Structure 1
Amino acid sequence: MYDVIIIGGGPAGASAAVYTARGRLSTLVLDKAPGTGALALTHKIANYPGISEELSGKELLDRIRSQAASFGAEFKQTSITAVDLEGDTKYVFTADGMFEAKAVIIATGSKGRNRMLQGEEELLGRGVSTCATCDGAFYQGKEIAVIGDSEEALDEVLALNKIAAKIHFIVPRAELQGVSELPQMGNTDVYFRSRPLEIVGEQHVEGVRVKQASGEEQLLNVNGVFVFLSGSKPGTDFLQDQVPLDENGFMVLDEYMQSPVPGVFGAGEVRKSPVKQAVVAAADGAIAAMAVDKFIHRREQLIPQYK
């Protein structure tokens, strides 16, 4: 039993871990793909307070994570398969087993895009999905497509690889962000430099139209399409109605980053904010962490960490 589990290890989650661990709360950070968040993929940081030297986003994140680890926070790379957040004890189910905590901070950042593919919105939930762990089981023995450009997309392919009969992995870029080498995937065809044009279907997905690197267009006949492209839609699908979300999928949070569900907090890009900056996400994480301390110790007020 941990005091707090933080789901997501970006600037919000890692900063929260600094504060919870330093506040002597046993802390576990779960992150599916530490190298593919928006900050981790930033080539150079120039506007983070206190950082004047040339530094990549990954280097900055590594510093924050190391700082949290020095205070006792544990970091584990794994995929979340389900959560149970409604009781006093919070359960987080992963590919590596179940973890329990008194409180949870959701800091999963953003995963979707403002601009969808043609046909994507119309067929969402009818063959189009952004959550392999939620919907993968519906495609047992079927042919599917995965559209993605990062390590996260590869992780989803590997999960679906055990379920689907055939996977068409469509990668718009020349390589996957955060991936140096592809593993062996027997039932998966990978299409680099291929641009998805349209998801085809009337009542359900019937195929996806792709423009190959050669310029040739091809229609792939598939039963489902899983989309994991970088963007700005909050990564809250896995919560599955256990925590209130607004119409755009953002968590409903108060000024202390607490949701209406006791013991469940949010930070970073899962919160609707006028700006998306690493320093804002880090500040959210700090507030959420001190609110967790208040919640667990049943304090009347937040106790800031001055020293």
Structure 2
Amino acid sequence: MSEYILRTKNLTKKYKHNYALENVNLNIKQGEIYGFIGQNGAGKSTLLRLITGLAFPTEGTIEWFGNDDPKGLTNAQKRMGALIESPALFPNMSAFENLEIQRIQRGIPGRESIDNILQLVGLMDTKNKKVKNFSMGMKQRLGIGIALLSDPEFLLLDEPINGLDPTGIVELRELIKNINHEKGITVLISSHILSELHLLATSFGIIHKGKLMEELTAKELDEKCRQYLQIKVDRPAIASTVLEQELATSDFEIMQDGTIKLYDYLDDIRTVSLALTQKGLIMEHLSQNGDSLESYFSKVIEEGEHE
């Protein structure tokens, strides 16, 4: 069995003379929460519509569970749950009734599955309340519940936190984590809200103007955005000895140009400066550097503008 739930190969969607997506190669492994990041209009929703079968690609292939045969894709999509944009709900029906209607339409056996879903999404206590009286966050959780009715292996969520208040965002974040950890469901979540995805995702894809600019794990992202002291002295080899012996740290690296990146002592620059100068080293430069998450993504997007 493939380690990848979903892969796309050179996936392209063209409308007349404009590319909504161009040669996108997406790779989502089993068990991940994949954060799909891009500005509004970057192509996120277009890609999600393609992989759910709501639209068809101009070129390229979509591979589900290691299978890119069209008949196999139809079966694979049955193993997926999706919430694209806002959930379609019956406002004068209760949460229970909305789920029951979906269960009957899909031919899913057993009404007991509804209570299990309501419990999972935190709506058990309000299951008989009419949906028109729900908050936005409750409607989103019910929409996710509907997507989970068929017990999918893969859950796709398109901008699920849009319009939610801070409490609703936290509740939805914890729900998605629980679905991933407790149920073992792989999740693809698209958003333009970077700070929220950083608290949630285990891997990321950055899309800009229809092109996938980069894929990286949460660990790789943290490394790229890691803060450090940038040190430039006349004798970097001696400086490294000072750091190891006088400051008892090995959490640094010497770059090709002799600059030292020290990932320790971020809140104590004075101690670092004194230790180096007391050994007769000439300090040419000492400052704190490193990208914030926002600036890193801005840099990736800016690079895309010049391609």
TM-score, with structure 2 as normaliser: 0.25
More helix by share: 2
Larger RCO (CA within 8 A; separation ≥ 6): 1
TM-score, with structure 1 as normaliser: 0.25
